[in-house]
A and B are shown apart, each in its own frame.
Chain A
Amino acid sequence: MIAFVIRRLLQAVLVMMAVGFVGFSLFAYVGDPVAIMLGQDFTEESRRQLVHELGLDQPFFVQYVHFLLNAAQGNFGISYRLARPVSELLLERMPATLELSLCAAAIALAVGVPMGVYTGLKRDTWLSRLLLTVSLVGVSLPTFLIGILLILVFSVVLGWLPSFGRGTTVAVGWWTTGFLTESGVRALILPSITLALFQMTLIMRLVRSEMLEVLRTDYIKFARARGLSDRAINFGHALKNTLVPVITITGLQLGGIIAFAIVTETVFQWPGMGFLFIQSVSAADIPVMAAYLVLIAFFFVLINLVVDLLYYAVDPRLRVDRTAAGGHGH
């Protein structure tokens, strides 16, 4: 168990170093920070001084290590556009993105899993067919279009829900939450549905195909031969066996949701990291872009790690303990 965790942690560090390299390359090769920061009037002396301050006269490798060390401490430099520390900017916007992503993931799971189970068990009902057809549409419609349609219907035509922003938020320490005010919750609804829709259909289709697969296995047939009730078979035996892949995919999707939030945040002008990123791209604000990339990668790696541990909790085959394995043989 400990060896397993250590191995996964080492892998995670390696991945983060690779991502750090990409982020760093952005710094080094895209745009010219010196030119951007100096503006129009500068002397050769002030330019050289800035180059030195930024460490740009150091060898490539030294610069990379510097970048990594700084990044590890959450220090990504100063935003060119807003002239504030990047870490501060991201931290401010992180709660918005994470609350939106978690809501979306919760919706995707809470709706996707039951729909998947239903369509897997009752394959030939018209409702199953309808859900499958609609889910195809859900997968193929682009997120921004869904967002705009939802805004059109629920904000413009019906006027039920706000079309942009987070509503009123409440500060809890450094975290700002929209869960505690009515306007905050109302503001969450449309964007989280928009963000959830794609993952929801994905989860539904995944659960369905896993259910179909599991229902064909010998141990399900044997469970029937033992006379267990349908309920015990479908929900006790079959569903639990579909959980391993569902956990993996959902976990990976959570990373995807955080990353995909860019589009949703832009459509709903949601004050999160994704929206910040888009604004930074149009302003060529490299430090923010690099930091965002590294942060998103960090989320992915972290989530992967948690997924692996969950796996471990669900599937006893991965927890082979030595004493029991010794009991093999006749």
Chain B
Amino acid sequence: MDANGTKLLEVRNLRVEFPSRRGTLVAVDDVSFDIAPGEVLGVVGESGAGKSMTGAAIIGLLEPPGRIAGGEILLDGQRIDNLPYEKMRRVRGRQIGAIFQDPLTALNPLYTIGRQLVETIVTHLDMGERAARDRAIQLLQDVGIPAAERRIDHYPHQFSGGMRQRVVIALALSANPRLIVADEPTTALDVSIQAQIITLIKRLCREHGTAVMLVTHDMGVIAETADRVAVMYAGRIAEIGPVRDVVRRARHPYTEGLMGSIPKIGETVGRLTQIDGAMPRLDAIPRGCAFNPRCARAFGRCRIDRPDPMDVDGARVACWLYGEGR
């Protein structure tokens, strides 16, 4: 939330399920958070925590049989989780853009990048082909593609991975959306260019006032880029709050563990591998707090009741250490 308390995106008690032969798997369970206009929300958590599913639910592209089984998603106060397909299609790209993980596979190999940009622009904006092409060239310049007038007519395979991710970013921004969902936008890239791409996303979104939901494994990136951070564990939010609080004085024992994996100054990559044990599978989530088998500070109640996020000076933390009657 910004100073006025306006919210661009509100996710309320979101639940995403996968019906399967051995019962229903709950990939996202009772997740709530907001994103203010222009704000960068970092989302972290081990692989399988439900980050991508949350993002996919927001842009309305959960893959069947996955489905939103509960809660609501609001953009500018309007529900978007139950929009008819055609209405939601107009939200995608226009209001909410997406940046995918692997730029090598996100672009159609048979069309020039110019064609892909122009079709996106004319789909959403009231523009002719000529104007759309000018806008496309401008976008390519903005994302740092040299000789954009010439490169616009090239095919994806004629670009390197880093350059292709810049094209993907240009595509995501081409109709000036209010929110970008960036799901691990640098994970597939060479380490040497990850920082450039993150800096680019951050700069462009600040210039355009675009909010970002930035999913990443890299705590260093979060510390530098995000305004607020949500930590997810086993489909739920463990802790969410301003980046300084969460990084410097993590309150949830899982977040503390993650922060232990922040690289010291000078190192560049931090992977979330430092906590002993593994996140439970969706069909074997323990009773009580899902983190209790790995938690050094677990106590009786942790094994019986599931903690919901509760206010702990400015942040929200799902841990009984902060519960009443401790």
Contacts and interface: CB of A to CB of B under 8 A. Distances in A.
Contacts of A317: 109, 155, 157
B6 interface: no
A228 B94 CA distance: 10
Given A221-B100, A228-B123, A317-B157, A330 B94 contact: no
In terms of DSSP, what is the predominant structure of the interface of chain A? helix
Interface in B77-93: 89-93
B319 interface: no
B154 A222 contact: no
A69 interface: no
B120 A327 contact: no
A330 B158 contact: no
- Counting chain B CB atoms within 10 Å of each CB, the highest count among A226, A230, A330 belongs to A226
Contact of B119 (A218, A232, A314): A232
Interface string A302-330: 00000000000011110010001101111
- Counting chain A CB atoms within 10 Å of each CB, the highest count among B90, B98, B158, B168 belongs to B158
B91 A227 contact: yes
Contact of B105 (A218, A229, A316, A320): A218
Given A225-B59, A330-B163, A217 B92 contact: no
Interface size on A, as a range, is 20 to 34
B20 to A, nearest CB: 18
A222 B61 CA distance: 10
Interface of A: 217-219, 221-230, 232, 236-237, 240-241, 314-317, 320, 324-325, 327-330
Given A227-B124, A314-B110, A222 B98 contact: yes
Contacts of B112: 316
Given A222-B100, A225-B92, 11 more contacts: A218-B105, A226-B174, A227-B90, A228-B120, A228-B123, A229-B123, A236-B119, A237-B111, A314-B110, A315-B109, A324-B155
B100 A218 contact: yes
The 3 A-B residue pairs with the shortest CB-CB distance, nearest first, are A227-B93, A225-B98, A218-B105
Contacts of A327: 147, 151, 154, 158-159
Contact of A218 (B102, B110, B147): B102
Contact of B61 (A221, A320, A325): A221
A317 to B, nearest CB: 5
Contacts of A229: 89, 123
Interface string B139-172: 0000000010001001101111011000010011
B214 interface: no
A217 B105 contact: yes
Contacts of B89: 224, 227-230
Contact of A226 (B123, B151, B193): B123
